[in-house]
Every structure is written in C-alpha cells, then in structure tokens.
Structure 1
Amino acid sequence: MADYNTIRAGQAGQAGVRTAQIDAGLRAHMNKVYGTMSVGMLITALAAWSISGLAVSSVPTEYQIGANEYLTSFGAAIYASPLKWLIMFAPLIMVFAFGAVINRLTAAAAQLYFYGFAMLMGLSISSIFLVFTGYSIAQTFLVTAAAFAGLSLWGYTTKKDISGWGSFLIMGVIGLVIASIVNIFLGSPAVMFAISALGVLIFAGLTAYDTQKIKNDYLQHAHAMDSEWLGKSAIMGALNLYLDFINLFMFLLQFLGNRE
C-alpha cells in the first residue's frame, strides 16, 4: 500500500509539474502573440503617419490636406501617381499569400513578412488622414484599443466554447466585402452605415474567437513543444488579431471620426 501511494503521489507530482510548464508556456506564447502584434501596429502607425506632416511654411500649398496638416513629399508622390493602386491592393495580396507561404518560411522569415505587411497596411490606410481629423483618429484608436483588450481578455478567460462562431463570422466577413464592393457603385450612406455597424459586431466577435483559438491551438500542440511551429503559430495568431484590430478601428472610425 505504501509503495502504491508513493507511486500515485509521484505521478500526481509529475502531472502538476507538467501542467505548470504548459501554463508558463501558454503565457509566453500569448506574450509573443501580443508583442508581435503590437510591433506590427507601431509599424503601421509610423507608415501611415509618414504620409502626412505638420503645417510648416516651407510645404507647398498643394500638399495641404486639412487646416493644420499637409502631405509629406513622400505622401504626395504616392497619391499623385499610379503607385497608390499598388499600395492599396498589396496588403490584400500579401495576407492571402501568407497562408500559402508560411509553411515554407522559417519563423524569423515569417515575422519579417508580417512586419512588411504591417508597413504596407499603414501606407494603404493612410488616406484616413485625408478624411478625418488627427484628434478623432487618435480618439478612435484609444476606444478601439480598450474594446479590443476587453474582448480579447474575455475570449482568453471564458469557459464557453465559442469555436462554433468561426463559420458564421467568416460568412459575415465575406458578406461585408461583397456589400462594400456593391456600395462603391451605389454610394449609399445608409448602406455604409449598416456595413459599418455589422463590421463592428463581426470583428468584435472575431477578436474573442481568434483569441480563444490561439489559446486552444497552443494547448492542443503543447506536448510536441516544437519551437519552430510555436514561432509560426504565434506570428499567425498575431496576424489574425492585428487584422481584427485594424478592421474594428476602421469601422469604428466611421462612427467616431470627425471629417475634415
């Protein structure tokens, strides 16, 4: 009996150590995801900001985009040339290509790919500085950050299985894309309002869904402890959350942004 109890106690101790290792690994994995995403967001913000500059007397008046803001010479070169179309569609091409090439890239190369994508995304959405005031952009960013943090925290901590949301949310994203393309020709403010409202709800749901999926994917593969796979998984998770944040921000900007 003593030997049996000793064996059981040893097995329980090993299980406890294993659980602690998995918990510590999960925390490190999520930190990697959020850290990579945060660097990507910073690159995006700097790339977008590089398009505009503060009002100074040496800037030509044709570069003016608002009462107190002007395009930089770099921004003027982009918006005054066909390069704007390349920058507009390059991020879309890159995000679709990412899933196809990630298996052939090392984790370090995948991270550089993500940062390159974040830079192009910043240039692509820089047109918001042509439409909205800088103050309202900053205000909307803070609102988006607070909402994203709450939704992601809920997705990480909830005991509710929300994996079933995935197919409905992806269908919603496809519907948003189709409706947005149709509204390019309609130009309807009412349709744009409906698209923005649905976009906020869909990407709020995706934020929680993707967070839980990142957590569950790690737990399912934690036994393998393949550092290369974990690195790529963290980058893919960062990309998904990054896209959730950017889209949530852009749709909220339609409601909260003050136009120039």
Structure 2
Amino acid sequence: MTFGQQPQGYNGAPYGQYQSAVNVQPTQVYERAEHVSVTRAYGEMTLGLVITAVVAILTQVSGFYISFLRATGGMGMWILAIVQIGLAIYLGVRVMNMSTTAARVCFYVYAALMGVTLSTIFLAYDLGTIGIAFLVSAGFYFALTMFGLTTKGDMLKAGPILMIALIVLIIAEVVMMFVAPTNTALKVVTAIGIILFAGLTIYDAQFTKKAFAAYASQGPEMIEKISILCALNLYLDFVNIFLYVLQAFGLSRD
C-alpha cells in the first residue's frame, strides 16, 4: 500500500507511523494469501504436467496410441484432438459455474489426454533430445514466470495482440499440414511459436496474480476455481514452449 504525504500529529510525529502499524497486518495477510493462491495455481499446473508425462510414458510403453490409431484409422487422431480442444474450451468457459472437484477432474482428464497425444514424441525424438528440451523449456519458463510476476510493466495490455498472433500461427500450421513446408519455413514458424508462447507465459503469469486479487473477496472456493483456470493457461504455455523447443532441436540436427 502506498501512502501520500502524511499530516503531522500533535506531537510532531507523522500520522503515517500509526497508520502503518494498523495496516501492516492486513497488508501482510493479503500478500500471504496472494502468494498461497499463485503457488496453488502453479502447483495445479505442475501436477497436470506430471500426469501428462506419466500417461505419455505408459502410452508409449503399452503401444496404446498406435493400436488406437490402427483401430480407428485417421479419424482417431482427429477425434482425440477435437475432444481435447472441446474439453479445454468447456473448462475455460464453464469453470466458474462448476464445482471445484468437477473443474479439477476436467483439468486432469485433459492433461491425461494430452499425455496420450504427446506419447508420439518418443517415436520422433530420442530420450536425450527430449530430456534436454525439457530442461531448457523448464529453465526458460521459470525465468519468464519470474519476470511476469515481478515486472512493473503491464503485459495484460498486449493480450489482444498475442491472441491475434496465436490465431495467425495456428492458421499457418494448419496450412503447413497440407502443403509440404521447406526447412526454412519450419524454422521460422518454430521461432515465432517460441517467442509467442514466451509472451503468453508472461501474460498468464500476470493474469494469474491479478485474477486472484480481483476474486480475493469471493471466498476460498472461487479462489480454487481461479487457480484451476490459471493452471490450465500456464500448463498450455509450458507444453507449447516444450514442443517448439523440441522441434527446434530436431530441426537443428537435420
């Protein structure tokens, strides 16, 4: 809390000395609550990533995804993708009207489905490359998160620009699915993807902090729902950064 110029008391001491004594406890309580809330969101995100990693490994070891694609044909991949997108949109739109348990279950189911899809990276890349890409992504993500949570700049103003850039990137990647891209085009798209999701990571870190401040007065249940919504956003940022970094390592070896 920032105080302006304080009037002087009868004894010449500024009233701010007494005000600070009165207000220090509420301020500390608010900062502690904010820290706990932000930590909870990142904890939910981390648990989602663990679920994704475990499911991806189990799916690869069991060969479930390959068997699923053989049984369903090309439609299986599209069905799984549509279910994932639909679940993410549903959770993002309906989370405020769902119970905390239902919202958390939806998030974990989404993370598990993502693990099934991501199991294919074990076929395209060796374990060393995947491990290095994960470590690089984790370090990069941590630095971006710390910047987003501590910077005085307002990244939320860049939200519309980031959303437009994301739509353009998605369209470009859809087009590249039907048109054989050059190695240069793939590198450009990969670089743009890393930069874009770096910006979204900073944006979502700030959004997480300000969302808790906005809903702090609405009780612990609302805070838990906000933590799940923010965890989904943060989770998607990390997964996409990891995939683009992994792709960049793969392209650099070609």
Matched, 1:160 2:153: yes
Asked if the contact 1:183–1:191 (Cα under 8 Å) also holds between the matched residues in 2, the reply is no
What CA distance in whole angstroms lies between the structure 2 residues aligned with 1:239 and 1:23? 23
Map of 1:103-182 to 2, 5 A cutoff?
A: 103-182=96-175
Q: Which residue of 1 aligns with 2:37?
A: 29
Q: Please list the CA deviations of residues 77-118 of structure 1 after superposition, one character each: whole Å capped at 9, or x if unmatched.
A: 223122443223321111111122212211222111100110
**Paired residue for 2:65, among 70, 75, 79?**
75
Q: Please list the CA deviations of residues 200-222 of structure 1 after superposition, one character each: whole Å capped at 9, or x if unmatched.
A: 00000111111011112222333
Q: Which residue of 2 aligns with 1:220?
A: 214
Q: Which residue of 1 aligns with 2:26?
A: 18
Please tell me the residue identity of whatever aligns with 2:191: A
Number of aligned residue pairs:
241
Task: Classify 1:103/1:216 alpha carbon distance in 2 versus 1 (closer, same or farther; 3 Å).
Answer: closer
User: Deviation of residue 226 (structure 1)?
Assistant: 1.4
Gaps of 5+ in 1: 54-71
**Paired residue for 1:247, among 231, 240, 249?**
240
What CA distance in whole angstroms lies between the structure 1 residues aligned with 2:107 and 2:244? 22
User: Deviation of residue 23 (structure 1)?
Assistant: 0.6
Overall identity of the aligned pairs, in %: 30
Asked if the contact 2:166–2:196 (Cα under 8 Å) also holds between the matched residues in 1, the reply is yes
User: Deviation of residue 147 (structure 1)?
Assistant: 0.2
What CA distance in whole angstroms lies between the structure 2 residues aligned with 1:216 and 1:235? 15
What CA distance in whole angstroms lies between the structure 2 residues aligned with 1:3 and 1:20? 28
TM-score under structure 2 normalisation? 0.87
Q: Please list the CA deviations of residues 149-168 of structure 1 after superposition, one character each: whole Å capped at 9, or x if unmatched.
A: 00000000111122211111
What CA distance in whole angstroms lies between the structure 2 residues aligned with 1:154 and 1:8? 32
User: Deviation of residue 52 (structure 1)?
Assistant: 1.9
Task: Classify 1:220/1:85 alpha carbon distance in 2 versus 1 (closer, same or farther; 3 Å).
Answer: closer
Q: Which residue of 2 aligns with 1:100?
A: 93
The structure whose residues are more often helix, as a share, is 2
TM-score under structure 1 normalisation? 0.85
Q: Secondary structure at the match of 1:220?
A: helix
Deviates more, 1:2-11 or 1:243-252: 2-11
Asked if the contact 1:91–1:124 (Cα under 8 Å) also holds between the matched residues in 2, the reply is no
